[in-house]
Structure 1
Amino acid sequence: MGLTLKKDYVEFFTNNRSEFQDNLLNEAKNVRNKIEEIQFIGNIDLLNNAHKLVMYALIGNKDELDMFAEKEGISWASHSLTLAFKLEWVQAIRRTIWRFLQRYDQENPINEPNNFYELERQINETIDQFLNTFFLSYSEYKDQLIEEQRTLVENLSVPIIPITSKVCVLPLIGHIDMSRSSTIEEKVLLEISKLRIGTLVIDLSGIAEMEPEVIEHMMRIIEGANMMGCECVITGLRPEIVRKVTKLGLTFEHKANTKATLQQALEDYFVS
C-alpha cells in the first residue's frame, strides 16, 4: 500500500474521528456503558486509545504498537479490568475500521482493487498483533502480581517478630496444613540464619487443631532449628494437640522447652 494512499486513509479517519467514535460506541454496546468507569478506575481513555490503534493499523508501525499494547496490558492487569470488555472493544474497532474503509472506497472509486488485499492483511495482522501482545503483557503482569501477593501472604502467615537481637517470637494462628508447615519450615530456617536467632518462641495458642503429619513436620522444624543452634520454646499448646502428640509417641523432650503461655515465656526468658 503506497504512502500516498496511507496518508489519504489517515486523513479520512482523522477528519471523521467524531463520527467514527459514534459508530464504535454503537458497535460496542456492552463497553459503552463502562467507558467512564474504566476511565475512573484505571485512568484509561478507551476512545483516545481506539484512535491510536486505528492509526497504528493504517500506518503499520509495529514497534510502537507493541509498546502501546504492553502498556495497555499492564494497565488492565493492575486494575483488574475485565478482559471480555477489552476483547469486545478491540473487535468493535476492527469492524468499525472496515465499515469506514468501505465508505472511503465508495467515495473514492479510483482506488485499485489489489490494494484491498494488502490493506486487509496489514490491518488484521496489526490488530491481531495488538491483541497477542496485550494478552501476553496482561498475563505476565498478572502472574507477577499473584506471585507478589502469594509471597506477602506467606510472610504474613509466618510472622517472626524480633524481641531482642537474639530472641524472636513466632505466633501462629488459624489452620496449619502441610503446605503452610512447609512455608513455616522455609521461613524459620531462613530467618534463623539471617537474624542469627538464638531463641525462637513458637506460640501455638491460636492453633486449635493439627493433623498428625503436620505435628510430625513441626517436630522436624524444631529439630532443624536446634541443628542451627537455635533453642525453641513452645507456648500455648492446647489439650487437643497435646493428646495427639502423646498418641503419636512424640515428645518435646530434648527438642524444645514448653511454657503454658507466651506471657510466661516472655517473663521467664526476657524479664528475669
Structure 2
Amino acid sequence: MSTLAISNYLKDHAHQITEEWLTERVKEPGSFYSNQASPDVEKLLRKQHQHTIQLLISSFDQNDFDFREKLDEWAQTVAKSRVEHRIAIHEVIKFLGKTRTLFWEYMKQYIDQTNEDVCKHQVSEWSEMLNSGFELMIVKFSEYYHEFNEKRLTEHQALIKLLEIPLIKICDKISVLPVIGVINSERGLSLLNDIPMKCSENMVESLIIDLSGVIEIEEVVAFQLTQLVQVLNLMGIESFISGIRPEVARKAISFGEEFHAISKISSVQEVIGKKNNQM
C-alpha cells in the first residue's frame, strides 16, 4: 500500500477531523479552547486547526523542503496567535496532542477499511512519519512562541518603564518628575539614563524631582540621583528635590555630602515663585 493512498484519504477527511476535534472540546470557563468560546475564537480555531491538519498530511510527502517551509509558516502563525491571546504553552501543546491522537485514529480507520494488506513495516513507517512531523511542529512552534513572548514582555517592560518615569510640565520651562514607590538601583539607573534625554526633548529649564511618593530609597540610589542632578546641571538644567518623607529623611542622614548638597524645596510653588522673581 502506498503512502500516497493514505495521504489522499487523510486529505479527503481533513475537514471531518477538524470538526471532530472541535466537537471534543469541553466546557472550560476562561479557556481559549473551551466549547463555550466566542464565535470569533471558534472560527480562528477551525481555520488554524485545518492548517495544522494540512501540515501533518504534508509530513507524509517526500518533499522535505516543502514540509519545512510550510512548517515555518504554520509555527509563526499559531505561535503569534497564542501569545496575543495569552495562552500558556502547555495548554497549546495539550490540544496539539489531541490533534495527533485524532489524526492517528483516522490513519487506523483507513488501515481497517482498506481491502489491501498492510504490513507491519508500512504501519511503523507511517507512525514514524507522523511522530517525526509532529515533534518538528512542537519544536518549531515552541521556538516562535518563545520569540514572540519575549518580544511582548520587552514591549510591556518598556511601556511600564515609560509610565514609571513621567515628566509633567507644570508651567513654561518647569517640569516635575514624580517618583512613586520603592527606588532600587535598577530604577535609579533608569532615571539617570532616561531623564536627561526627556528634559532635553521637552526643553526643560528647571526640574523638580518629587519624592513624596517614595517609601524607601537605597544608598546607591542617592548616589545615582546625585549623578542625575550633576548631569542636568551640566546641561544647564536647574534641579531640585521635593517631598522627602520623614522615614526617607532619617535614612538619608547617612548618605554622602553630595546628596545633601542638592537643592531641597518644600513645594513646587517655591520654584515657581523663585522663577517669577528672576523675571
Q: Shorter-chain TM-score: which interval?
A: 0.7 to 0.9
Question: Is 2:86 the partner of 1:101?
Answer: no
Structure 2 gaps, min length 5: 60-66
1:124 & 1:174 partners in 2: Cα distance?
52
Matches within 5 A, 1:1-272: 2-11=3-12, 13-14=13-14, 17=16, 21-22=19-20, 26=24, 34-39=33-38, 42=41, 45-60=44-59, 61-110=67-116, 112-113=118-119, 114-163=121-170, 166-250=173-257, 256-269=262-275
Structure 1 gaps, min length 5: none
Residues 187-212 of structure 1 deviation map (CA, whole Å, 9 limit, x = unaligned): 11222344443221111222243233
Give the TM-score of the pair, scaled to structure 2. Answer: 0.80
1:101 & 1:182 partners in 2: Cα distance?
60
Aligned residue type for 1:101: M
The residue matched to 1:35 in structure 2 has which SS?
A: coil
CA contact (8 A) 2:71 2:137 kept: yes
Deviates more, 1:173-182 or 1:190-199: 190-199
CA contact (8 A) 2:27 2:36 kept: no
Q: How big is the shift at 1:47?
A: 4.3
Aligned residue type for 1:52: H
Q: How big is the shift at 1:250?
A: 2.1
Aligned residue type for 1:9: L
Q: How big is the shift at 1:170?
A: 0.7
Aligned residue type for 1:10: K
Deviates more, 1:62-71 or 1:176-185: 62-71
Deviates more, 1:107-116 or 1:201-210: 107-116
1:77 & 1:217 partners in 2: Cα distance?
37
Residue 22 to residue 209, structure 1, CA distance change in 2 (3 Å):
closer
Residues 97-119 of structure 1 deviation map (CA, whole Å, 9 limit, x = unaligned): 11221121111141553543442
CA RMSD across the alignment: 3.1
CA contact (8 A) 2:21 2:99 kept: no
Aligned residue type for 2:77: K
The residue matched to 2:183 in structure 1 has which SS?
A: coil
Aligned residue type for 2:137: F
Residues 25-81 of structure 1 deviation map (CA, whole Å, 9 limit, x = unaligned): 55x768798434555685664345334322221233432232122111111111112
Residue 42 to residue 213, structure 1, CA distance change in 2 (3 Å):
farther
Residues 152-205 of structure 1 deviation map (CA, whole Å, 9 limit, x = unaligned): 111111111234564322111221111211111111122234444322111122
1:154 & 1:82 partners in 2: Cα distance?
25
2:217 & 2:109 partners in 1: Cα distance?
71
Deviates more, 1:154-163 or 1:39-48: 39-48
The residue matched to 2:159 in structure 1 has which SS?
A: helix
